[in-house]
């Protein structure tokens, strides 16, 4: 072979090599760009959904299972991401080959192309029907699998109760039932989709047969060559395969968007209380707050139970610096007053105000800075003790943190841990005892230094010794500075020292006065007190 021949051979080879390399580079960049775009899409959607969930109204939490929300955050958005990625990669490829195949067909034989395109609407109609069927089924599957995840997460969260009641088998059965339902629905979906795709393939083969028949007729008429019909049949098969692929991709996309509809709804849902920081409502300077709290003609029923009115027309005025204790039977509305003050819920009528400002007109961040809470069963985060204390004041110095922990009677037990303040707590602070958890919770409130303190039965879950230590910490918290304090008390020993005791019954104030005055009155409080004294 001469040099000139070799040159002639090399030229096209070089061109081909160039083509292959550019194809590889192009394919790398397009798949990378697609991965970047879908990853970013997933990240943003997750952030938007997470934020919407964090900011949604508390009553929505009363009605939903947190496990479902976690499922949606990971599973549903994940499958949407995959579907979008597949739709783009396969969809673009499919659409391109349909377009180029159609042009080729039309140029090869306009009559054959027209005949073929007449059949397309029938296929599109069938694909639409499948979409409708799949949509209904995928809704059902989503509901059932969210239920299953909800059950599992509820059980994990309440593992001590489950273990204490030996309820593992019952929980397994409950989860298993839901999972069985999911499997049945998925099988039904596989049957529907499988049936459709088999019918689709049958249709495709029938169309190919028809084209062969019609093509044969055109050959006999001299309008088409035998070679032409062979390449048309090949092209038609490519076209049909692309259409089938697109219908699969679009069904997947429909399914994923359907199961994510509620995510978009949640993202667009405007909460009643906008907790986003910045200029929403009045900002009361924390230092200038006097601490007067007034409930005026409050009418309230929980949104999840609108028919049961907890308060019909409730009035209570708490003076700045006053320590009041709310007492009364279980279910009389004590905790609800705290929830209204923190604006977890809005009153239906009347108002709750702070220094004369309706809490609805206050910036929620400002409100939470002013009103500090120590709850009955404080929940800590699964991070370090230090970070948990700093939850009250993220920029607190180490000295401030230690001082707060000392005031909360927590410093000594923290120092006994090998890692001290850096000790990692389990989920919800599970590695601490109830009393230790409460002292950390008191410490974080001391750091926050609120003007109004809400103590929700803070000592009710403790034994006598722990109660004494926690009570001592609470006393320090109440006396570090004079602040309005509302104690939601179950144990009347906690309430006895308050300036004013407010006795509630079914959402109404039945008695008010100091401990001594109420004992002398010999009414509801005295009765409650005697019952508790004899029980202790």
Ligand X SMILES: Nc1ncnc2c1ncn2[C@@H]1O[C@H](COP(=O)(O)OP(=O)(O)OP(=O)(O)O)[C@@H](O)[C@H]1O
Residues at the site binding ligand X, with contacts judged by CB under 6 A: 62, 302, 304-305, 310, 328, 330-336, 490
Cβ-based nearer residue to ligand X, 283 or 461: 461
User: Angle at CA 337, nearest 5°, toward 336 and 339?
Assistant: 60
Nearer to ligand X, 328 or 443 (CB): 328
Is 104 or 302 the residue whose CB approaches ligand X more closely? 302
Q: How far is the CB of 314 from ligand X (least distance, A)?
A: 11
Cβ closer to ligand X: 305 or 530?
305
CA distance 406 to 415: 11
Task: Compare residues 108 and 329 and give the one whose CB is closer to ligand X.
Answer: 329
d(Cα 444, Cα 29) in Å, to the nearest integer?
50
Least distance between ligand X and beta carbon 502 (Å): 12
Give the DSSP per-residue string, 298-309. Answer: EEEE-TTSTTSE
Cα–Cα distance measured from residue 150 to residue 175, given in angstroms and rounded to the nearest whole number = 9
Shortest distance in whole angstroms from residue 375 CB to ligand X: 11
53/335 with CB nearer ligand X: 335
Output the smallest distance, CB 286 to ligand X, in A: 27
CB atoms within 10 A of CB 452: 24
Residue 289 vs 310, nearer CB to ligand X:
310
Nearer to ligand X, 350 or 392 (CB): 350
Return phi, psi of residue 226, to 5°: -65, -40
Q: Which is nearer to ligand X, 111 or 506 (CB)?
A: 506
Distance in Å, CB of 522 to ligand X, minimum: 23
- Min. distance of Cβ 332 from ligand X in angstroms? 4
**In this structure, what is the dihedral angle of CA atoms 484, 490, 496, 502, given to the nearest 10 degrees?**
60
Residue with token string 């602040």? 483
Alpha helix segments (H runs only) across 72-167: 77-108, 110-157, 159-164
Long-range CB contacts for residues 103-106, cutoff 8 Å, separation at least 24:
104/235, 105/232, 105/235, 105/236, 105/239
Least separation in angstroms between CB 63 and ligand X:
9
For residue 329, count CB atoms less than 10 angstroms from its CB and return exposed for 0-12, middle for 13-18, buried for 19 or more: middle
Q: What is the rounded distance in angstroms from the CA atom of residue 459 to the CA atom of residue 435? A: 8
- The DSSP secondary structure of 32-92, one letter per residue, reads HHHHHHHHHHHHHHHHHHHHHHHHS-HHHHHHS-HHHHHHIIIIIHHHHHHHHHHHHHHHH
Both tokens of residue 416? 């006994």
Residue 331 tokens read as 């279910």
Comparing CB distances to ligand X, the nearer of 83 and 503 is 503
Question: Hey, how many other C-beta atoms are within 10 angstroms of the C-beta on 222?
Answer: 7
**DSSP H stretches of helix in 158-225:** 159-164, 168-220
- 354 — alpha (psi -120 to 50), left (phi > 0) or beta? beta
In the complex, minimum distance from the CB of residue 328 to ligand X, in angstroms, rounded to a whole number = 6
Q: How far is the CB of 157 from ligand X (least distance, A)?
A: 17
**Shortest Å distance, C-beta 312 to ligand X:** 13
Region class of 107: left (phi > 0), else alpha (psi between -120 and 50), else beta: alpha
Give the number of residues written for the chain. Answer: 536
């Amino acid at each position: 072979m001469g040099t000139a021949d070799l040159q002639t051979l090399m030229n096209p080879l070089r061109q081909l090599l160039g083509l292959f390399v550019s194809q590889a580079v192009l394919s790398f960049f397009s798949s990378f760009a697609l991965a970047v775009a879908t990853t970013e899409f997933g990240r943003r959607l997750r952030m938007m959904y997470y934020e919407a969930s964090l900011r949604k109204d508390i009553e929505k939490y009363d009605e939903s299972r947190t496990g479902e929300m976690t499922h949606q955050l990971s599973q549903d958005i994940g499958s949407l991401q995959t579907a979008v990625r597949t739709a783009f990669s396969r969809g673009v490829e499919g659409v391109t080959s349909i377009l180029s195949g159609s042009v080729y067909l039309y140029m090869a034989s306009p009559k054959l192309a027209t005949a073929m395109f007449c059949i397309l609407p029938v296929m599109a109609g069938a694909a639409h029907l499948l979409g409708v069927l799949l949509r209904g089924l995928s809704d059902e599957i989503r509901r059932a699998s969210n239920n299953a995840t909800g059950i599992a997460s509820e059980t994990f969260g309440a593992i001590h109760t489950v273990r204490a009641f030996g309820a593992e088998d019952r929980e397994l059965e409950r989860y298993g039932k839901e999972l069985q339902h999911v499997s049945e629905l998925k099988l039904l979906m596989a049957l529907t989709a499988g049936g459709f795709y088999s019918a689709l393939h049958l249709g495709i083969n029938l169309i190919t047969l028809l084209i062969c028949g019609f093509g044969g007729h055109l050959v006999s008429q001299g309008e088409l060559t035998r070679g032409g019909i062979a390449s048309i049949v090949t092209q038609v098969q490519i076209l049909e395969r692309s259409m089938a692929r697109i219908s699969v991709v679009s069904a997947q996309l429909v399914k994923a968007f359907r199961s994510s509809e509620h995510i978009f709804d949640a993202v667009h849902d405007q909460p009643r209380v906008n907790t986003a920081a910045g200029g929403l409502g009045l900002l009361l300077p924390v230092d200038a707050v006097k601490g007067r709290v007034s409930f005026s003609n409050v009418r309230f029923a929980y949104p999840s139970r609108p028919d049961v009115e907890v308060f019909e027309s409730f009035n209570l005025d708490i003076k700045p610096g006053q320590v009041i204790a709310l007492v009364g039977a279980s279910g009389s509305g004590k905790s609800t007053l705290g929830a209204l003050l923190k604006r977890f819920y809005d009153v239906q009528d009347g108002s709750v105000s702070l220094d004369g400002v309706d809490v609805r007109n206050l910036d929620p961040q400002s409100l939470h800075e002013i009103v500090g809470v120590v709850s009955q069963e404080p929940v800590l985060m699964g991070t370090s003790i230090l970070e948990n204390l700093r939850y009250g004041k993220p920029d607190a110095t180490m000295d401030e943190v230690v001082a707060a922990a000392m005031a909360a009677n927590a410093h000594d037990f923290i120092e006994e841990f090998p890692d001290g303040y850096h000790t990692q707590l389990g989920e919800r602070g599970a590695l601490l005892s109830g009393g230790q958890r409460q002292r950390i919770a008191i410490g974080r409130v001391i750091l926050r230094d609120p003007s109004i303190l809400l103590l929700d039965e803070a000592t009710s879950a403790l034994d006598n010794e722990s109660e004494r230590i926690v009570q001592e910490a609470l006393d320090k918290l109440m006396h570090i500075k004079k602040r309005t304090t509302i104690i939601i008390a179950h144990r009347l020993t906690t309430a006895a020292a308050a300036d004013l005791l407010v006795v509630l019954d079914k959402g109404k104030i039945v008695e008010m006065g100091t401990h001594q005055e109420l004992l002398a009155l010999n009414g509801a409080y005295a009765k409650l007190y005697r019952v508790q004294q004899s029980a202790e």
